[in-house]
């Protein structure tokens, strides 16, 4: 059986009765085409099932109307919500998205190189590649926007949240409930978010006149098993905490599992607060009190920033910091010693 030949740009031009330049102008959404001609070309594209060759279009110096997105993984709701926001916003403006994953720096740099040759711009979630290397990509003519920046210094356009204020909101809630011995499950070192949230925890204690106790801080990895291990360690202390603040929801779920395994009631015996408000936070039992990051809105904002850059529009700021919000559910209550 003979394999059907893939339709070409020339085939579309012949069927529509126009030049290949006109077809290219329609595909790239250039304005110098009449509505009647545009409709004829689009009809020919549908009839032939023509799909543009992104690599060829990129080599020819044209726009692909496609954005590349690089994420650490696609298994977490945290990443999923951001991706949903970027996808919806790009679709609304007639653009497509190519998505790839990379769990280490070497793979990430390979994928950045791959995507920059096929797309008009890049969106990167928690990149491990240093800013100085990504700046080289941007200087080569490929706009880059970073979401939830990993490092301490931000040199590229970025979208993030106010991690410090979010941590202060979580701590203020627990302190208002009368908790004075509050454990903390920290995020991995090397993340700007981890440092900001730890700072918020420490400074909230200082503002309340409470000493910082390093035995109440356990290092985590932002993954649920590390939260479980941290919870076991905290609840095994001679004087365990009456409340635990975890630097993200996944670790908070792990702390909840550890508490239940050790016979502690939530929130009667221990209050627990997370950070992120991923969809699962409202579905676990009991529903988790947490600090909401506007994850979907972060994706939307990053897509809008990148599209503005692609259109040559200079945004008011290249660094967007969105606000957090405390969401009180069922894992927090007043400390036992202050209950009446």
How confident is the model over 60-107, as pLDDT tens digits? 555 778 999 999 999 999 999 999 999 999 999 989 999 999 888 888
pLDDT for the residue 29: 66
How confident is the model over 178-206, as pLDDT tens digits? 999 999 999 998 888 999 999 999 999 99
Residue 109 corresponds to which tokens in the numbers above? 């740099």
Kind and range of the H or E element at 228?
A: helix 224-235
* Domains within the chain, CATH numbers bracketed: 9-51 (1.10.260.40), 66-161+295-322 (3.40.50.2300), 163-294+326-338 (3.40.50.2300)
pLDDT for the residue 328: 98
**pLDDT at residue 290 above 90?**
yes
**pLDDT at residue 55 above 60?**
no
List the strands of the sheet with 325-327, edge to edge.
Answer: 217-219, 182-186, 243-246, 271-276, 289-292, 325-327
Q: How many residues does the chain have?
A: 340
DSSP letters for 118-139: TSSEEEEES--S-HHHHHHHHH
**pLDDT at residue 116 above 50?**
yes
Q: At what angle do helices 249-261 and 224-235 cross, to 10 degrees?
A: 50
pLDDT for the residue 7: 77
Q: How far, CA to CA in Å, does 308 sit from each of 55, 58, 149, 151, 297?
A: 23, 20, 20, 25, 16
Lowest mean pLDDT among 151-165, 183-197, 265-279: 151-165
Integer Rg of the chain from CA:
25
Residue 335 corresponds to which tokens in the numbers above? 């400390």
Region 237-249 average pLDDT: 98
Cα gap 69→58, rounded to integer Å: 17
Region 221-226 average pLDDT: 96
**Where does the pLDDT of residue 291 fall: very low under 50, low under 70, confident under 90, or very high at 90 and above?**
very high
Cα gap 215→233, rounded to integer Å: 9
């Amino acid at each position: 059986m003979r394999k059907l030949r893939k339709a070409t740009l020339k085939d579309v031009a012949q069927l529509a009765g126009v030049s290949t330049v006109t077809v290219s102008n329609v595909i790239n959404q250039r304005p110098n085409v009449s509505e009647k001609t545009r409709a004829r070309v689009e009809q020919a594209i549908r009839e032939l099932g023509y799909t543009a060759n992104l690599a060829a279009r990129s080599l020819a110096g044209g726009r692909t109307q496609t954005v590349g997105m690089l994420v650490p993984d696609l298994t977490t709701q945290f990443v999923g919500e951001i991706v949903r926001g970027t996808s919806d916003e790009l679709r609304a403006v007639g653009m497509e998205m190519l998505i790839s994953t990379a769990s280490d720096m070497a793979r990430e740099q390979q994928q950045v190189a791959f995507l920059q040759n096929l797309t008009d711009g890049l969106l990167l979630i928690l990149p491990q590649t240093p800013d100085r290397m990504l700046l080289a990509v941007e200087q080569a003519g490929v706009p880059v926007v970073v979401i939830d920046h990993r490092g301490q210094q931000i040199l590229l356009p970025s979208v993030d949240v106010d991690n410090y204020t979010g941590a202060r909101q979580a701590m203020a809630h627990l302190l208002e409930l009368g908790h004075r011995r509050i454990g903390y499950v920290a995020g991995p070192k090397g993340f700007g978010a981890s440092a900001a949230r730890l700072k918020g925890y420490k400074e909230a204690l200082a503002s309340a006149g409470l000493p910082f106790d390093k035995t109440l801080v356990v290092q985590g990895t932002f993954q649920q098993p590390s939260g479980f291990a941290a919870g076991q360690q905290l609840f095994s202390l001679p004087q365990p905490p009456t409340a635990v603040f975890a630097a993200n929801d996944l670790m908070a779920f792990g702390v909840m599992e550890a508490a239940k395994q050790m016979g502690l009631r939530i929130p009667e015996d221990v209050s627990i607060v997370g950070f992120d408000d991923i969809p699962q936070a409202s579905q676990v039992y009991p529903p988790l009190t947490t600090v909401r990051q506007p994850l979907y809105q972060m994706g939307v904002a990053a897509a809008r920033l990148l599209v503005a850059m692609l259109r040559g529009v200079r945004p008011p700021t290249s660094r967007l910091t969105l606000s957090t919000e405390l969401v009180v559910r069922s894992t927090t209550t007043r400390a036992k010693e202050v209950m009446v």
